[in-house]
Amino acid sequence: MATSAGLDDSRFIISGGPVPQNVTEGHGSLGAYLRNRMRLNGNDVGLIDGVFGTELRYLELLEQTVRLAECLRTLADVRVGDVVGIVSENRLEFPAALFASIFLGATVAPINLTYSERELDHAFNLSKPKVIFVSPFSADRVVAVARQNRHIVQRVILFGEENPFGSDVQLLEEFQKPVSFVNPMNFYIPPVDVDNHVALIMCSSGTTGLPKGVQLTHYNLMASIALLNFARERDEVPSGESSELLEPPPGGIVLLGVLPWFHAYGCMTLINVVCNKQLLVSLPKFEEGLFLSCIENYRCTMVFVVPPLVVFLAKHPLIESYDLSSVDTLLCGAAPLSKETEDLVKKRLKVKHVRQGYGMSETTLATLVQSGEGHKSGSVGIVQVGTLAKVIDPNTGKALGPNQHGELCFKGSQIMKGYIGNEAATKETIDADGWLHTGDIGYYDEDHEFFIVDRLKELIKYKAYQVPPAELEAILLTNPKIKDAAVIGLPDESAGELPLAFVVKQEGVDMSEAEIKKYVADRTSPAKRLHGGVRFIAEIPKNLSGKILRRELRALLQKPKSKL
């Protein structure tokens, strides 16, 4: 890794201001913090299942949480430092499982429910969950992999009403039967070392293949939550949210979220909503009619989106059939949003604000946020409170001044503890001075607004999912008919980028594009499939050290598609 900035570079370090005082509010753990927030929120509705219309009040959630926590402690022997996995779509059982585990001082590993068995096996061996909660959607795969890893997974608990798997899997309600009620305020929540104790292990894809486990501490999460309250006091806007949060609309703030809770953006949205007494209408996945009818029926004022959803709202003819006039703000993250799409959606929906920010799993949530009314088009905002930022020359590590392109680096209260079980990757990402190197290229202007230009990392952003080319290349190379392969992102307005493979066939073999796409699809989750197709070429361009020259492959996209 390049060296960190010296004293001479300190003038080019941009500060978002000091960390808010009393981030923990005197609590000895995130669990105690969450319990107090849910108690104070009282009998207000906090979550609504957008599919079934089921409402969950804060005190109901608190009671469900402590009951489940007691069951995990007494029946599954979950203790401080154990890991609990959750493999589920967004559903009302998810937050109770999440918070119950945190109450006990256990670490929670939310895992992508679309993972293939190969990917699940990797995730389980990465985080080593003692207990796994699973929804019916992914239960076949999860149970199969859990049975192969009995040395790790001791218990599988199934959401829903039917259990086709036998005695080694328990329905949630059966698991909870021995405990009918626990007084939330009498429940013992053990204190932890908030600075170092890991609350969440989020899967984050890297350029070298399968996901790494991002460790976020209790303090990371409490600092992220505290930013909203602190911003109200300073009349600033955290995490891409609009200044209308300071003066809620007459009907109150109603948020619509379709972002999966196993994703860092979605999970932190859920936690922030519960801690800041907001109302979240949640959907398990994006379905056009259901998404739009939820906005109309619940009069949603803010919608959490990723760029493909903004394209849908800006262009789809179905929009005209629904009343979306309640929407004041679109909160967009996970991938860059073009100015053209932003302008289109503003004109069509008459929304006042389309807010963007920049963050990654390794930074808990956003480190750069748009606030106020005057942000520049194309920017991702200014440095978040409690954060330091700099742009460095990737080759020398020297901090750069305004309008100079370099690698974005951050330091502060939201930076991860490190990658679980991977000290080498941690040291490659966080230098000796505590600066996290993002691998993304950007710059800031004279007003300290930041802009993302490119990325050093080769991750493909498909519908806000991170797709590592190296993983797909490794899969392709296991096919005996394939001599060599490389994968890049094909630009796409709706999805962001589509994984596209360049393939060199073995001499004398017959192989079709469909055959290759199926080969990859059989071994990966949906986001990692070759949605951009396959191009057959004679040779993969590489430099002398063997590194794939992806820029040359991108240049080939301008040429007509190769014939089979």
Alpha-carbon distance of 167 to 285, in angstroms, equals 30
372 pLDDT above the threshold of 50: yes
**pLDDT top residue among 478 and 213:** 213
Which residues are bridge partners to 399 per DSSP?
A: 392
Contacting residues for 519 by C-beta, under 8 A, at least 6 apart: 475, 476, 479
Q: Which residues of 326-386 form beta strands (DSSP E)? A: 329-332, 353-359, 366-369, 382-383
Q: What percent of the chain has pLDDT over 70?
A: 90
87 pLDDT above the threshold of 80: yes
Which CATH superfamily, name and number, covers 30-191? ANL, N-terminal domain (3.40.50.12780)
List % helix, strand, coil for the chain (3-state, nearest 5).
30, 25, 40
Closest CA to 266 of 248, 245, 252, 280: 280
| pLDDT per position as a tens digit, 231-282 | 555 544 444 443 333 344 556 789 999 989 998 889 999 999 999 889 999 9
| Least confident range of 32-41, 197-206, 314-323 | 197-206
- The answer to whether 34 and 49 are in contact (CB under 8 A) is no
| Least confident range of 71-80, 236-245, 433-442, 448-457 | 236-245
Q: What CATH number has the domain spanning 460-557?
A: 3.30.300.30
Give the per-residue pLDDT at 21: 83
Closest CA to 86 of 120, 58, 50: 120
| In the chain, where the domains are located | 30-191, 460-557
- Model confidence at 477, pLDDT cuts 50, 70, 90, reads confident
- The answer to whether 450 and 389 are in contact (CB under 8 A) is yes
Q: Can you tell me the mean pLDDT for 79-90?
A: 97
Dihedral, CA of residue 254, residue 291, residue 117 and residue 165, to nearest 10: 80
Alpha-carbon distance of 216 to 147, in angstroms, equals 28
Closest CA to 282 of 483, 47, 113: 47
17 pLDDT above the threshold of 60: yes
| pLDDT per position as a tens digit, 503-519 | 999 889 999 999 999 99
389 pLDDT above the threshold of 50: yes
Give buried/exposed letters for 122-157 (b at 16+ CB in 10 A, else e).
Answer: bbbebbbbbbbbbbbbbbebbbebbeeeeebbbbbb
Q: Can you tell me the mean pLDDT for 541-558?
A: 77
**pLDDT top residue among 289 and 465:** 289
Give the per-residue pLDDT at 182: 94
**pLDDT top residue among 530 and 339:** 530
Alpha-carbon distance of 70 to 188, in angstroms, equals 9
* Mean pLDDT score across all residues of the chain: 88
- Model confidence at 341, pLDDT cuts 50, 70, 90, reads confident
Which residues are bridge partners to 357 per DSSP?
A: 369
Give the per-residue pLDDT at 349: 93
**pLDDT top residue among 170 and 354:** 170
Q: Can you tell me the mean pLDDT for 281-289?
A: 94
Q: What secondary structure does DSSP assign to 428-479, as a single string?
A: HHB-TTSPEEEEEEEEE-TT--EEEEEESS--EEETTEEE-HHHHHHHHTTS
| Least confident range of 23-27, 303-307, 485-489 | 303-307
The residue type of 170 is: Q
Give the per-residue pLDDT at 463: 87
208 pLDDT above the threshold of 70: no
Asked whether the CA dihedral 558, 560, 562, 564 is positive or negative, the reply is positive
Q: How far is CA 422 from the centre of its chain?
A: 20
Alpha-carbon distance of 514 to 136, in angstroms, equals 30
563 pLDDT above the threshold of 50: no
Q: Can you tell me the mean pLDDT for 368-391?
A: 84
| Least confident range of 39-53, 168-182, 347-361 | 347-361
**pLDDT top residue among 208 and 344:** 344
- Model confidence at 379, pLDDT cuts 50, 70, 90, reads confident
Give the per-residue pLDDT at 247: 46
Give the per-residue pLDDT at 76: 97
Q: Can you tell me the mean pLDDT for 292-302?
A: 96
| pLDDT per position as a tens digit, 110-143 | 999 989 999 999 999 999 999 999 999 999 999 9
Q: What percent of the chain has pLDDT over 90?
A: 65
User: Residue 372 corresponds to which tokens in the numbers above?
Assistant: 């106020």
Give the per-residue pLDDT at 77: 97
Same CATH topology for 30-191 and 460-557? no
| Least confident range of 5-19, 266-280, 300-314 | 5-19
- Model confidence at 549, pLDDT cuts 50, 70, 90, reads confident
Place of tokens 């906005």: 295
For residue 341, CA distances in Å to 241, 315, 489 come to 19, 9, 20
Q: Can you tell me the mean pLDDT for 220-238?
A: 68
Give the per-residue pLDDT at 9: 77
| Least confident range of 376-380, 471-475, 504-508 | 376-380
Q: What angle do CA 463, 469, 470 make, to 5 degrees?
A: 145
Alpha-carbon distance of 147 to 157, in angstroms, equals 13
Alpha-carbon distance of 364 to 386, in angstroms, equals 13
Where helices occur in 299-370 by DSSP H, the ranges are: 307-315, 339-349
Taking residue 262's Cβ as centre, other Cβ atoms within 10 Å add up to 23
